[in-house]
Amino acid sequence: MIAPALGAAVIVAILAGAPAASAQGRADGVVADLPTRPGVTMRYLAVEPDRRPTVAAVLLVGGNGALSIPDRGSAAWARNGNFLLRARELLRQRGILAIVVGPPSDHRDGLGNWRLSAAHAADLGAMAAEARRRWGVTRVWLIGTSNGTLSAASAAAQLPPGTVDGVVLSATVTRIGRVGRESGALTVNDVALANIRVPTLLLHHRDDACYASPFAGAELLRRRLSGASRVDVVAVAGGDAPRSGPCEPLAPHGFLGVEAQAVDAMVEWMAAGN
Protein backbone atom coordinates (compact mmCIF):
# COMPACT_ATOMS: atom_id res chain seq x y z
CA MET A 1 0.00 0.00 0.00
CA ILE A 2 1.01 3.65 -0.32
CA ALA A 3 0.93 5.36 3.04
CA PRO A 4 1.38 9.06 3.86
CA ALA A 5 4.50 10.10 5.70
CA LEU A 6 4.03 9.57 9.41
CA GLY A 7 4.07 12.29 12.02
CA ALA A 8 6.86 13.14 14.43
CA ALA A 9 4.53 12.84 17.43
CA VAL A 10 4.59 9.05 17.15
CA ILE A 11 8.38 9.13 16.94
CA VAL A 12 8.49 10.80 20.32
CA ALA A 13 6.39 8.01 21.79
CA ILE A 14 8.57 5.32 20.26
CA LEU A 15 11.83 6.89 21.36
CA ALA A 16 10.61 8.31 24.66
CA GLY A 17 13.40 9.43 26.90
CA ALA A 18 15.87 10.29 24.15
CA PRO A 19 17.19 13.79 24.91
CA ALA A 20 17.07 16.55 22.34
CA ALA A 21 20.42 16.96 20.62
CA SER A 22 22.39 20.14 20.25
CA ALA A 23 22.99 21.52 16.79
CA GLN A 24 26.61 20.36 16.90
CA GLY A 25 26.20 17.30 19.14
CA ARG A 26 28.55 14.52 18.12
CA ALA A 27 28.11 15.20 14.42
CA ASP A 28 31.90 15.12 13.90
CA GLY A 29 31.61 11.39 14.53
CA VAL A 30 34.09 8.52 14.51
CA VAL A 31 36.11 7.83 11.36
CA ALA A 32 37.72 4.40 10.91
CA ASP A 33 39.00 2.09 8.18
CA LEU A 34 37.40 -1.35 8.50
CA PRO A 35 39.15 -4.41 7.03
CA THR A 36 36.51 -6.23 5.01
CA ARG A 37 38.30 -8.59 2.61
CA PRO A 38 41.97 -9.66 2.30
CA GLY A 39 43.92 -6.49 1.55
CA VAL A 40 40.76 -4.34 1.39
CA THR A 41 39.47 -1.72 3.80
CA MET A 42 36.30 0.39 3.82
CA ARG A 43 36.22 3.80 5.49
CA TYR A 44 33.18 4.80 7.51
CA LEU A 45 31.96 7.75 9.54
CA ALA A 46 29.82 6.82 12.56
CA VAL A 47 27.73 9.57 14.15
CA GLU A 48 26.80 8.51 17.67
CA PRO A 49 23.64 9.53 19.55
CA ASP A 50 23.88 10.93 23.07
CA ARG A 51 22.68 7.68 24.61
CA ARG A 52 23.88 4.18 23.91
CA PRO A 53 22.19 3.17 20.65
CA THR A 54 20.29 -0.04 20.03
CA VAL A 55 19.79 0.57 16.29
CA ALA A 56 22.37 1.34 13.60
CA ALA A 57 21.62 2.67 10.13
CA VAL A 58 24.26 1.96 7.47
CA LEU A 59 23.88 4.80 4.96
CA LEU A 60 24.58 4.15 1.27
CA VAL A 61 24.77 7.23 -0.92
CA GLY A 62 23.90 7.51 -4.59
CA GLY A 63 25.83 8.67 -7.62
CA ASN A 64 28.84 6.53 -8.46
CA GLY A 65 29.51 5.87 -4.78
CA ALA A 66 32.99 7.44 -4.89
CA LEU A 67 32.48 9.14 -1.53
CA SER A 68 35.60 10.58 0.11
CA ILE A 69 35.24 10.63 3.89
CA PRO A 70 37.74 13.03 5.53
CA ASP A 71 40.16 11.81 8.17
CA ARG A 72 38.07 13.62 10.74
CA GLY A 73 34.32 13.77 10.36
CA SER A 74 32.81 17.22 10.27
CA ALA A 75 29.32 18.51 10.97
CA ALA A 76 29.70 20.73 7.91
CA TRP A 77 31.04 17.98 5.64
CA ALA A 78 28.80 17.41 2.60
CA ARG A 79 26.09 19.58 4.14
CA ASN A 80 24.64 20.29 0.69
CA GLY A 81 25.27 16.82 -0.69
CA ASN A 82 23.42 13.52 -0.80
CA PHE A 83 20.17 13.22 1.15
CA LEU A 84 21.58 10.63 3.55
CA LEU A 85 24.64 12.75 4.30
CA ARG A 86 22.33 15.61 5.24
CA ALA A 87 20.13 13.23 7.24
CA ARG A 88 22.85 11.73 9.43
CA GLU A 89 22.45 14.31 12.21
CA LEU A 90 18.65 13.94 12.12
CA LEU A 91 19.05 10.20 12.62
CA ARG A 92 21.48 10.80 15.47
CA GLN A 93 19.01 13.12 17.18
CA ARG A 94 16.43 10.32 17.04
CA GLY A 95 18.71 7.89 18.85
CA ILE A 96 20.04 6.06 15.76
CA LEU A 97 23.72 5.30 15.22
CA ALA A 98 24.21 6.72 11.70
CA ILE A 99 27.08 5.12 9.77
CA VAL A 100 28.11 6.61 6.43
CA VAL A 101 30.19 4.15 4.41
CA GLY A 102 32.57 5.02 1.63
CA PRO A 103 33.71 2.76 -1.22
CA PRO A 104 36.16 -0.05 -0.45
CA SER A 105 39.82 0.58 -1.15
CA ASP A 106 39.70 -1.51 -4.34
CA HIS A 107 36.83 0.57 -5.81
CA ARG A 108 37.65 4.12 -4.76
CA ASP A 109 36.89 5.47 -8.23
CA GLY A 110 33.28 4.32 -8.09
CA LEU A 111 31.02 1.34 -7.68
CA GLY A 112 28.91 1.14 -10.85
CA ASN A 113 27.34 -2.28 -11.35
CA TRP A 114 29.74 -3.67 -8.71
CA ARG A 115 27.01 -2.58 -6.29
CA LEU A 116 25.26 -5.87 -7.10
CA SER A 117 28.29 -8.07 -6.42
CA ALA A 118 28.71 -10.63 -3.66
CA ALA A 119 31.92 -8.88 -2.57
CA HIS A 120 30.08 -5.59 -2.03
CA ALA A 121 27.40 -7.40 -0.03
CA ALA A 122 30.13 -9.01 2.08
CA ASP A 123 31.68 -5.59 2.78
CA LEU A 124 28.33 -4.30 4.04
CA GLY A 125 27.89 -7.44 6.10
CA ALA A 126 31.25 -6.71 7.72
CA MET A 127 30.06 -3.19 8.51
CA ALA A 128 26.92 -4.58 10.15
CA ALA A 129 29.03 -6.91 12.27
CA GLU A 130 31.31 -4.02 13.24
CA ALA A 131 28.32 -1.97 14.41
CA ARG A 132 27.14 -4.82 16.62
CA ARG A 133 30.63 -5.45 17.99
CA ARG A 134 31.80 -1.90 18.56
CA TRP A 135 28.58 -0.26 19.69
CA GLY A 136 26.57 -3.22 20.91
CA VAL A 137 23.53 -2.43 18.78
CA THR A 138 20.90 -5.14 18.47
CA ARG A 139 19.50 -4.09 15.10
CA VAL A 140 21.20 -2.96 11.90
CA TRP A 141 19.37 -1.48 8.92
CA LEU A 142 20.69 -0.75 5.46
CA ILE A 143 19.45 2.58 4.09
CA GLY A 144 20.17 3.43 0.47
CA THR A 145 19.15 6.38 -1.63
CA SER A 146 19.10 6.78 -5.42
CA ASN A 147 21.87 4.52 -6.79
CA GLY A 148 22.59 3.51 -3.21
CA THR A 149 19.35 1.52 -3.31
CA LEU A 150 21.11 -0.98 -5.60
CA SER A 151 23.71 -1.60 -2.89
CA ALA A 152 21.13 -1.88 -0.10
CA ALA A 153 18.74 -4.15 -1.97
CA SER A 154 21.45 -6.40 -3.39
CA ALA A 155 23.15 -6.83 -0.01
CA ALA A 156 19.83 -7.57 1.70
CA ALA A 157 19.14 -10.24 -0.93
CA GLN A 158 22.55 -11.91 -0.54
CA LEU A 159 23.55 -11.67 3.12
CA PRO A 160 22.89 -14.59 5.49
CA PRO A 161 19.83 -14.34 7.75
CA GLY A 162 20.46 -12.24 10.83
CA THR A 163 23.16 -10.08 9.26
CA VAL A 164 20.83 -7.12 8.81
CA ASP A 165 17.38 -6.54 10.27
CA GLY A 166 15.79 -4.50 7.51
CA VAL A 167 16.29 -2.23 4.53
CA VAL A 168 15.07 1.23 3.51
CA LEU A 169 15.15 2.14 -0.17
CA SER A 170 14.65 5.86 -0.81
CA ALA A 171 14.27 7.45 -4.24
CA THR A 172 14.75 3.97 -5.64
CA VAL A 173 16.26 3.62 -9.11
CA THR A 174 13.79 1.49 -11.07
CA ARG A 175 14.29 2.76 -14.61
CA ILE A 176 17.19 3.71 -16.89
CA GLY A 177 17.33 5.87 -19.97
CA ARG A 178 18.76 5.13 -23.38
CA VAL A 179 22.32 6.05 -22.41
CA GLY A 180 22.08 3.85 -19.35
CA ARG A 181 20.87 0.89 -21.39
CA GLU A 182 23.69 1.32 -23.87
CA SER A 183 26.28 1.40 -21.07
CA GLY A 184 24.85 -1.67 -19.35
CA ALA A 185 23.64 0.21 -16.27
CA LEU A 186 21.42 -1.72 -13.87
CA THR A 187 18.48 -0.90 -11.62
CA VAL A 188 17.02 -2.38 -8.45
CA ASN A 189 14.88 -4.57 -10.69
CA ASP A 190 18.07 -6.46 -11.58
CA VAL A 191 18.38 -7.62 -7.97
CA ALA A 192 16.96 -11.00 -6.90
CA LEU A 193 14.25 -9.15 -4.99
CA ALA A 194 12.39 -12.31 -3.97
CA ASN A 195 15.43 -13.25 -1.87
CA ILE A 196 14.96 -10.25 0.41
CA ARG A 197 13.34 -11.62 3.56
CA VAL A 198 13.71 -8.68 5.94
CA PRO A 199 11.26 -5.78 6.41
CA THR A 200 11.60 -3.37 3.49
CA LEU A 201 10.47 0.25 3.28
CA LEU A 202 10.20 2.09 -0.04
CA LEU A 203 10.44 5.80 0.82
CA HIS A 204 9.70 8.16 -2.05
CA HIS A 205 8.89 11.79 -2.76
CA ARG A 206 5.66 12.13 -4.71
CA ASP A 207 7.19 14.82 -6.91
CA ASP A 208 10.45 13.05 -7.72
CA ALA A 209 11.06 14.17 -11.31
CA CYS A 210 14.15 12.06 -11.95
CA TYR A 211 13.62 9.81 -14.96
CA ALA A 212 15.35 6.94 -13.13
CA SER A 213 13.18 7.01 -10.02
CA PRO A 214 9.54 7.74 -10.89
CA PHE A 215 7.15 7.57 -7.96
CA ALA A 216 5.04 4.98 -9.75
CA GLY A 217 8.04 2.68 -9.85
CA ALA A 218 7.98 2.29 -6.08
CA GLU A 219 4.54 0.67 -6.07
CA LEU A 220 5.51 -1.66 -8.91
CA LEU A 221 8.64 -2.61 -6.98
CA ARG A 222 6.62 -3.37 -3.86
CA ARG A 223 4.81 -6.14 -5.71
CA ARG A 224 8.12 -7.82 -6.56
CA LEU A 225 9.27 -7.95 -2.94
CA SER A 226 7.28 -11.12 -2.41
CA GLY A 227 9.63 -12.64 0.16
CA ALA A 228 9.95 -9.65 2.48
CA SER A 229 8.42 -10.13 5.92
CA ARG A 230 6.93 -6.63 5.72
CA VAL A 231 6.91 -4.11 2.88
CA ASP A 232 5.32 -0.69 2.41
CA VAL A 233 5.58 2.38 0.24
CA VAL A 234 5.67 5.61 2.25
CA ALA A 235 5.29 8.90 0.39
CA VAL A 236 6.38 12.38 1.40
CA ALA A 237 5.43 15.62 -0.34
CA GLY A 238 6.29 19.30 -0.34
CA GLY A 239 9.64 20.83 0.49
CA ASP A 240 11.77 23.53 -1.08
CA ALA A 241 12.03 24.57 -4.70
CA PRO A 242 14.73 22.57 -6.52
CA ARG A 243 18.25 23.98 -6.50
CA SER A 244 19.73 21.26 -8.70
CA GLY A 245 18.78 19.01 -11.59
CA PRO A 246 15.91 16.54 -11.07
CA CYS A 247 18.26 13.58 -10.46
CA GLU A 248 20.54 15.51 -8.11
CA PRO A 249 20.26 15.80 -4.32
CA LEU A 250 18.94 19.37 -4.03
CA ALA A 251 15.56 18.51 -5.53
CA PRO A 252 12.58 16.31 -4.56
CA HIS A 253 14.75 13.34 -5.58
CA GLY A 254 16.92 14.26 -2.58
CA PHE A 255 13.99 15.16 -0.28
CA LEU A 256 15.06 18.82 -0.26
CA GLY A 257 13.26 20.71 2.50
CA VAL A 258 11.51 17.61 3.84
CA GLU A 259 14.53 15.83 5.29
CA ALA A 260 13.05 15.74 8.80
CA GLN A 261 9.71 14.45 7.51
CA ALA A 262 11.47 11.70 5.57
CA VAL A 263 13.69 10.71 8.51
CA ASP A 264 10.72 10.67 10.90
CA ALA A 265 8.84 8.40 8.52
CA MET A 266 11.68 5.91 8.18
CA VAL A 267 12.49 5.86 11.92
CA GLU A 268 8.88 5.24 12.88
CA TRP A 269 8.51 2.51 10.27
CA MET A 270 11.71 0.84 11.40
CA ALA A 271 10.50 0.85 15.01
CA ALA A 272 6.95 -0.32 14.25
CA GLY A 273 7.81 -3.98 13.78
CA ASN A 274 10.12 -4.35 16.76
Domains of the chain, by residue range, sit at 2-272
- Comparing 22-36, 94-108, 211-225, which segment has the lowest mean pLDDT? 22-36
Question: Percent of the chain scored above 70 by pLDDT?
Answer: 84
pLDDT at site 16: 29
pLDDT at 81: 84
Residue 24 has pLDDT above 70, yes or no: no
pLDDT score recorded for residue 122:
98
In tens, the pLDDT along 129-155 reads 999 999 999 999 999 999 999 999 999
Please check whether the domain covering 2-272 is classified as CATH 3.40.50.1820: yes
pTM for the predicted model, two decimal places: 0.88
pLDDT at residue 97 tops 60? yes
Number of other CB atoms surrounding residue 70 within 10 Å: 11
Output the pLDDT for position 8: 32
pLDDT exceeds 70 at position 177: no
pLDDT at 74 over 70: no
For range 194-201, the mean pLDDT: 98
Which are the contacts of 96, defined by CB distance < 8 A and separation ≥ 6? 49, 53, 55, 56, 57, 267
pLDDT more than 90, % of the chain: 78
- pLDDT tens figures, 213-258: 999 999 999 999 999 999 999 999 999 999 999 999 999 999 999 9
| pLDDT value at residue 70 | 86
Q: What is the pLDDT of residue 202?
A: 98
Least confident of 91-100, 179-188, 262-271: 179-188
Average pLDDT over residues 34-59: 96
Whole-number average pLDDT of the chain: 87
* Predicted local confidence at residue 21, as pLDDT: 29
pLDDT at 7 over 50: no
Identify the bridge partners of residue 170 per DSSP, sorted by sequence position: 145, 203
Contact 11, 3 (CB under 8 A): no
Contact 66, 73 (CB under 8 A): no
Quick one: CA torsion of 131, 265, 81, 123, rounded to 10 degrees? Answer: 30
CA 217, CA 215: separation in Å to the nearest integer?
5
**Mean pLDDT to the nearest integer, 74-99:** 87
Task: Tell me which of 193 and 272 has the higher pLDDT.
Answer: 193
pLDDT at 133: 97
pLDDT for the residue 4: 41
Give the residue ranges of DSSP H helices in 169-258. Answer: 178-183, 215-224
User: Is residue 12 within a helix (H) or strand (E), and if so which, with residue range?
Assistant: helix 8-14
